[in-house]
Structure 1
């Protein structure tokens, strides 16, 4: 038999190049990780801002998808334009106009959730080293987005009603930022709403100092009480410099991943090019089904029912907090949205309390990761939308027990010495 041919020696493989610095410099989302930890049955979670699934109009959406395929399956399953399906942009424009901001279909870009709209605006406007201003605390995924872009993220001082215009003006003059990112209505994580007179002041500052405004409005239609406050984009001085981000996630269904961007023409055109590099276009079938739903169903009636349910759930949470949280705790009363913001007394750490809470099958999100600069370890965000009032009551009983055992000493009550990235890491430990 012929002898076997020896195999040639295989040289040691060189490792592949390393990741981009931005991919390793920005941490994961504690909210997403906490949701994974609380996915087991029986956990009552105040952690994620999850719409109540039993309130989804599953029947109406199923009918919209069926009709979309029946009317034009070929179009529904085909590529489409980056800007979005014309009928969906027309429907969104009509809704935005009805809410007080004159808008045409050509003013809009359909996005894969409003999170993509934020990513597109960031990629379009922000270069490494540019300053971006944010409320403090602010939406965690926005901090991730700006971090990936290499921005210098600078907090603007806020009180219980949001941005302090005088502080904003001073920071804009000193730092010369590219943009201010704000969630002015039922803010995430605090639930607060910026008053109209402050919105007008922010618009004036932006016009006078030269500043882009990024107004994120995923919660604005979830108002339970109080008067509507006009969009920041509607104020004089803001019209030519505001990117307004909207979403169907909170009023229709988050699984659709449908959002929209309203922006001045030049900025919108640049965002279109950026989107082409990201995903070419948002799902055609989802856009057409959403357009059919908006044409044939009564979304406003559906939203009214959702508001009623969420108001009851907010009230159940607020009614039980006095017994659930330690004496000396404080919290707010949002007029809408999905979140209540609370602060534990001196000597408590919300991250330590979370560990005890998860052991008792209840969860919340510590507030520290939402801060820029020195975090406040005593803060926490409580979402009231996912569970019924009865389940909320049970969850608060569990939370009360957890907080009796979850007390942890904090050296000075301010979180000194802990960076936001450390706080984000500790929230997952």
Structure 2
């Protein structure tokens, strides 16, 4: 049995038996629990630690574990006053506008589905694709580095900033890089730094829900700019800048989420030209560069590498290619805006924990790093093919406008007769979780969509089974 489940089971059993003991009475010894439940001493120690953390037992070194005093019953108060306190000041109309933050589109990809459900809604690599041994080794080595537990520079470790600068390319230097707590944190900092509350921000349509949530939380008004299979449309982008007076565009030029589109060279140049003419910044969310598929051609350079004038604020991260818990990313910018980005990050979080930065350095500097990149690249290529082939055979009515050469998902348009809102619960009943399309649109969507991730599942066999279950869900709600 897995150690984690053994600990949970033992803790649950001991918790159920606590009523047998009076307050202050000693529980059986660790040796007795090992013999009774046929588990390891480590499992017993961790189970008792869990009960101690819940305030149910008190452990005394060398003496054992004792039943703790019961916690005082919780007092139910009246929190209705908060509804008014959490509203903004009256506007010109005198109406109160709630400052609600909608994280539902993000939680869809963060929540773990029930056991046995095929996870097509995930946003991270399956544990079988994560470099777990390399990460464990990097973290162990990092903890032994001189000064590893001291305070790091607020901008990040110089060696890690230099590594990110080389990865971004062009003339970007380490002095123009800030180490961040992952890509989401970097996006949030950039949105707050680059335009004031109440102003418009141009976004791709569809686009990443986490960015939309962060923009709205910062008081910004996302304005959609339509995309096609080659990414954002420059003609509509230019029109949107003129119509709105916006001074900020957020885009994902490479393997866009959710469409998978990659901007061709002429559009990349057009985006920079149009933004520069509008006096606007471009936040380049380069989240998927290391998720390139094995059959893709040479990758284009980052927008930041082609931008000497400081139009682009570049965001990237190590999280997607490693683990959801390695929350280490970077912001790169040049010019006066860098100081504002730095100030906001310091005020928000001081700095990224040094052991995590040291572990990231150990990982990317090890021989295992390039091996891991090659392994993931080949696995994503295979899984993309398996999923696309299974969909073509089993669910041909779901349209796939673009087959990406990078990233970890496919973006599917639903037929008009298949309601998105009904498909999601039907899919869960059939044992497969999918990401709804609605949260990817900042305004009314043109049609129903779903996003299927092929990175968070165990492998080709589970992909095939997930598509079979999705077929059953479609049949359930289709007349």
Structure-1-length-normalised TM-score: 0.86
Change (3 A) 1:405 1:279: same
Q: Which residue of 2 is the match for residue 261 of structure 1?
A: 331
- The DSSP-based 3-state class of the residue aligned with 1:124 is helix
Q: Which residue of 2 is the match for residue 168 of structure 1?
A: 237
**Deviation by residue 1:202-261 (Cα, 9 ceiling, x = unmatched):** 11111122110000011012222133122222335x641100100001222221110001
Matches within 5 A, 1:325-340: 325=395, 327=397, 329-340=399-410
Q: Which residue of 1 is the match for residue 22 of structure 2?
A: none
CA distance in 1, matches of 2:367, 2:398: 47
**Deviation by residue 1:31-66 (Cα, 9 ceiling, x = unmatched):** 414653x52211101112221211222222222222
Q: Which residue of 1 is the match for residue 305 of structure 2?
A: 234
Tell whether the 8 Å contact from 2:113 to 2:433 is kept in structure 1 after alignment.
no
Q: Which residue of 1 is the match for residue 246 of structure 2?
A: 177
Tell whether the 8 Å contact from 2:291 to 2:407 is kept in structure 1 after alignment.
yes
Tell whether the 8 Å contact from 1:217 to 1:244 is kept in structure 2 after alignment.
yes
Which of residues 124, 133, 141 is equivalent to 1:50?
124
CA distance in 1, matches of 2:450, 2:288: 19
Which of residues 219, 226, 229 is equivalent to 1:150?
219
Tell whether the 8 Å contact from 2:283 to 2:314 is kept in structure 1 after alignment.
yes
Q: Which residue of 2 is the match for residue 393 of structure 1?
A: 464
Tell whether the 8 Å contact from 1:114 to 1:259 is kept in structure 2 after alignment.
yes
**Deviation by residue 1:251-286 (Cα, 9 ceiling, x = unmatched):** 222211100011113212111110111110011100
Q: Which residue of 1 is the match for residue 19 of structure 2?
A: none
Which of residues 64, 83, 87 is equivalent to 2:138?
64
Tell whether the 8 Å contact from 2:284 to 2:314 is kept in structure 1 after alignment.
yes
1:406 Cα deviation from its structure 2 partner: 2.8
Q: Which residue of 2 is the match for residue 209 of structure 1?
A: 278
Which of residues 369, 374, 378 is equivalent to 2:448?
378
CA distance in 1, matches of 2:108, 2:408: 19
Tell whether the 8 Å contact from 1:90 to 1:105 is kept in structure 2 after alignment.
yes
Tell whether the 8 Å contact from 1:349 to 1:377 is kept in structure 2 after alignment.
no
- The DSSP-based 3-state class of the residue aligned with 2:320 is coil
Runs of 5+ unmatched residues, structure 2: 1-77, 89-96
Q: 1:18 and 2:66 equivalent?
A: no
Greater CA drift, 213-222 or 292-301: 292-301
Greater CA drift, 24-33 or 214-223: 24-33
**Deviation by residue 1:94-126 (Cα, 9 ceiling, x = unmatched):** 3333xxx23221110000001111111111122
Q: 1:323 and 2:393 equivalent?
A: yes
Tell whether the 8 Å contact from 1:367 to 1:376 is kept in structure 2 after alignment.
no
CA distance in 2, matches of 1:235, 1:368: 33
- The DSSP-based 3-state class of the residue aligned with 2:405 is coil
CA distance in 1, matches of 2:341, 2:188: 9
CA distance in 2, matches of 1:191, 1:218: 12
1:298 Cα deviation from its structure 2 partner: 4.1
Q: 1:244 and 2:314 equivalent?
A: yes
Q: 1:104 and 2:149 equivalent?
A: no
1:294 Cα deviation from its structure 2 partner: 2.2
CA distance in 1, matches of 2:109, 2:173: 40
Q: Which residue of 1 is the match for residue 56 of structure 2?
A: none
CA distance in 1, matches of 2:173, 2:109: 40
- The DSSP-based 3-state class of the residue aligned with 1:335 is coil
Number of aligned residues: 390
CA distance in 1, matches of 2:109, 2:188: 23
1:379 Cα deviation from its structure 2 partner: 1.0
Tell whether the 8 Å contact from 1:214 to 1:245 is kept in structure 2 after alignment.
yes
Q: Which residue of 2 is the match for residue 414 of structure 1?
A: none
- The DSSP-based 3-state class of the residue aligned with 1:254 is coil
Q: Which residue of 2 is the match for residue 30 of structure 1?
A: 105
CA distance in 1, matches of 2:385, 2:118: 17
- The DSSP-based 3-state class of the residue aligned with 1:373 is coil
Q: Which residue of 1 is the match for residue 202 of structure 2?
A: 133
Structure of higher CA gyration radius = 2
CA distance in 2, matches of 1:287, 1:384: 29
Tell whether the 8 Å contact from 1:126 to 1:149 is kept in structure 2 after alignment.
no
Q: Using CA pairs below 8 Å that are at least 6 residues apart, which structure has the higher relative contact order? A: 1
Runs of 5+ unmatched residues, structure 1: 1-11, 409-429
Change (3 A) 1:13 1:254: closer
- The DSSP-based 3-state class of the residue aligned with 1:256 is coil
Superposition RMSD in Å: 2.1
